[in-house]
Amino acid sequence: MEVIAIIALIVIFSVADYFIYLKIKGKFQAKSSILSEELEKKIIEYEGLSQEIKDLKRELQGLEAKYVRIKNREVDKIREKQSSKPTATEVLLSENLVNAEDIKKAKEFIKNNNSPFSILDVLVLLGRLDIKDANYVKSKISRED
């Protein structure tokens, strides 16, 4: 009889274990299903964000290219403006403020003395041009030579 009681207890525990196993398996499958759905949502969200990043990078490249084009146009306008104005030497000679010999002497002075002064400054220092005329020339030129 004890054997039958032991076998009956074993069967009862086996059935109880089986129901516990089914309960745990059901909870696992439910959570696994929820996690799978969340994973799918995250994958879709990730793909959307990845596409958005690609679009933003393309937009940034377009804006950078546009910036470079605008900057180049500005530089071209500045160069065009500067190139349309005469040099100091051209104004000095065309306005007969000094002669070619005075220009030559001023350039030699700059070269021989490694002078940081402009040709207008040297002509003023040498007494060949007054300050009023130097300022007038500066207003007419794009650069001093």
> Which tens digit of pLDDT belongs to each residue from 42-72?
999 999 999 999 999 999 999 999 999 999 9
Model confidence at 76, pLDDT cuts 50, 70, 90, reads: confident
- pLDDT given at position 144: 60
Rounded distance between C-alpha atoms, residue 44 and residue 49, angstroms? 9
The rounded Cα 64 to chain-centroid distance in angstroms is 7
Beta-carbon contacts of 120 under 8 Å, excluding residues fewer than 6 positions away, are: 88, 129, 134, 137, 138, 144
Here the tokens at position 62 are: 């377009």
Model confidence at 85, pLDDT cuts 50, 70, 90, reads: confident
DSSP 87: P
Rounded distance between C-alpha atoms, residue 24 and residue 18, angstroms? 10
Model confidence at 78, pLDDT cuts 50, 70, 90, reads: confident
